[in-house]
Structure 1
Amino acid sequence: MSFKDYEPFRVDAGGVEIAGMKGGDRPPLLLLHGHPQTHEIWHKCAGELAKHFTVIATDLRGYGASGKPESDTHHTPYSKRAMAGDQVAVMRHFGFEQFLVCAHDRGARVAHRMAMDFPDAVDRLMLLDIAPTLAMYDATDREFATANFHWFMLIQPSPLPELLIGGNPDAYIDRLLGSGQAGFAPFAPHALRAYRDAFAAPGAIFATCEDYRASAGIDLEHERADLERGMKIACPLRVLWGEQGVIGRRFDALDEWRRVARDVSGRALPCGHYIPEEQPDMLLAEMLAFFEADAP
């Protein structure tokens, strides 16, 4: 499967250009990738999904071919609130006021914020291999910090992490992608090349560091404010995680999401972190069952 018959696009989302691929002609479905990837993470699912949905697969702000704006001392331009606003602007550009969302990793953090800030926009939400940001930071210990070393490396003040990663960005990408039990086997050569090339683009390393710096600061403030106000994700939420990954080993994913969402279901899949590339057929079955549940 691939993005054959999809069309590339660039949309001005209020000062930041968001790039992506669009295909199909059915109910709208927004796909959001994670770190250190791009929309290419969906390439094994894209062809089949376009038979059922109008698929919008974007590169997040700061990733892939999307814009990489300058930041500020609070990392506000890379807050999940700003990144969620980008995605809503893209969907509105194509005429979609309400839509389905499936999001992995960092994209799931953006989708979480989107469901809170734009509750009328998100009809149904599927999140892949993630727990709420605050829950993961609160659970940090030596084992977690070792497995997720990049969380704490990327948030160091600029330019230290940018300089360190910039010395050999392919080595950094390969460490993250190849560290699971499956190694590099799930990743198609063209996808690996796309991830490496995107990360080597000017401004990409700074942007991804800013993404993580925001999650360690302003994003946590937003999550705490939600909890204090008793705000929860209102739409149906389906959570899937890899039983071999950090979420499967260290978290009760359903319990964590039920703290911040009203209607939660989900299960583990036999894989690691990169579900769309490790278990695309299982993911497709889950997506069709969940997203078409209310279809006439």
Structure 2
Amino acid sequence: MLYFLLLIIAMIVYGAMRYPEQFGGYVLRLTHTFESTLYGFTPHYKKVDGIKYFYLQNSAQRKMHKTETNVASKTSKPTLLLLHGFSAEHTVWLRCAKTLAKHYHVILLDLPGHGVTGYDASADYSIPAQTKRLAGFVNALGLTKGMGKVHIAGNSMGGFIAAQFALDYPELTASIICVDPAGIIPPQPSTLQQLALKGRNPFFMDSPEQFDAFFALTMAKPPYFPNSVKQFKAHEYVKNKAQLEHIYHDFFNLEHMLDDKLASITCPILMLWGGLDDIIHISCAKVWQDKTKAVSIIWEDLGHMPMLEAPRQTADEIIRFIG
């Protein structure tokens, strides 16, 4: 028995050393599967208008409790839909969702073009198109039945989509939580935008060696990632460069920006922002707040992805806002 155990360990070590990026992908998938199961989430697929969506969700029902008549009953939780940013996937919300799941029916979605939901070279990935697809997904799952409307939290591009959803589908929107959202022309350019203006968009990589510089821009306080996982992600970015360029050029369209539309959002808005955001400059926060009267919280020590950098802190503010 000891021999076989040592053999397995030796094989794992050999695999990690010989094929670090493949091993990193295995570690990442295993970790996400373990965490999602531990937090009470189950994987699902739903085909809507030709797109096979992948998402995680927890139970929509609260725990059994006694009513005033001493009869056990169940009540539905409000639905909270979590949207990731450009080039990311649902897993960026997973640790934050651990806390949120105690209070809400939480859905972590891979947006079209991303993650397991996948990419279609013929698709339109503009914000209006993605927002229309999201409404189709919400209606197909019947998420507004019973509770009436959904709460939507989105990071970066996901925040852009959440805001557009609130504009286009106010009858479906209970509130939106915009975490370092894209969607307006920044008063001051971020580090990433300065590089992009020089023709060096860090999202588009020709070699894995470019990943570390990009990763440093995404978070001020990143959680620990093994080097093998970083190598896996680096190779993914290189492999998917053409896809990312397509999606980026569709969604980053000045004609679709929200600068002149923000004031028309009627639902409650919570805006969370990391003061050290190198992807979207913190100067955007004042524009959002002035035009929407959003509840605004700025964390001076965090970067572009607070839900990964400070998951419990982010979840607590969302819970305080929604109730």
Report the CA distance between 1:242 and its aligned residue. 0.5
Determine the structure 2 residue equivalent to 1:35.
Answer: 86
Q: Are the aligned partners of 2:190 and 2:281 in contact in 1 as well (CA < 8 Å)? A: no
Q: Are the aligned partners of 2:127 and 2:161 in contact in 1 as well (CA < 8 Å)? A: yes
Are 2:318 and 1:287 aligned?
Answer: yes
Query: Which structure 2 segments of 5+ residues have no match?
Result: 1-33, 61-76
Report the CA distance between 1:77 and its aligned residue. 0.8
Query: How many positions carry a matched residue from both structures?
Result: 267
- Deviations 1:152-196 (CA, angstroms, capped at 9, x unpaired): 656xxxxxx99x72x43x44443322236746x424449956982
The structure with the largest alpha-carbon Rg is 2
Report the CA distance between 1:230 and its aligned residue. 8.6
Counterparts of 1:1-296 in structure 2, within 5 Å, are 2-4=35-37, 5-25=40-60, 26-71=77-122, 77-97=124-144, 98-133=149-184, 135-136=185-186, 139=187, 145-146=193-194, 149=196, 153=200, 165=205, 167-168=206-207, 170-179=208-217, 182=220, 185-189=222-226, 192=229, 196=233, 199=236, 204-217=240-253, 220-223=254-257, 227=260, 232-246=264-278, 250-251=282-283, 253-259=285-291, 261=292, 263-269=293-299, 270-292=301-323
Indicate the percent of aligned positions where both proteins have the same amino acid: 22
- Deviations 1:37-82 (CA, angstroms, capped at 9, x unpaired): 21111121222211111111011111111131223xxxx7111111
Q: Within 2, Cα distance between the matches of 1:191 and 1:127?
A: 31
SS in 2 for 1:238: strand
TM-score where L is the length of structure 2: 0.71
Determine the structure 2 residue equivalent to 1:158.
Answer: none
Report the CA distance between 1:141 and its aligned residue. 5.3
Query: Which structure 1 segments of 5+ residues have no match?
Result: 155-160
Which amino acid in 2 is paired with 1:3? Answer: S
TM-score where L is the length of structure 1: 0.76
Which amino acid in 1 is paired with 2:267? Answer: C
Q: Within 2, Cα distance between the matches of 1:182 and 1:141?
A: 18
Q: 1:130 to 1:12 in 2, by over 3 A?
A: same
Aligned-residue CA RMSD in angstroms? 3.4
Q: Which moved more, 1:229-238 or 1:247-256?
A: 247-256
Report the CA distance between 1:253 and its aligned residue. 0.8
Q: Are the aligned partners of 2:219 and 2:305 in contact in 1 as well (CA < 8 Å)? A: no
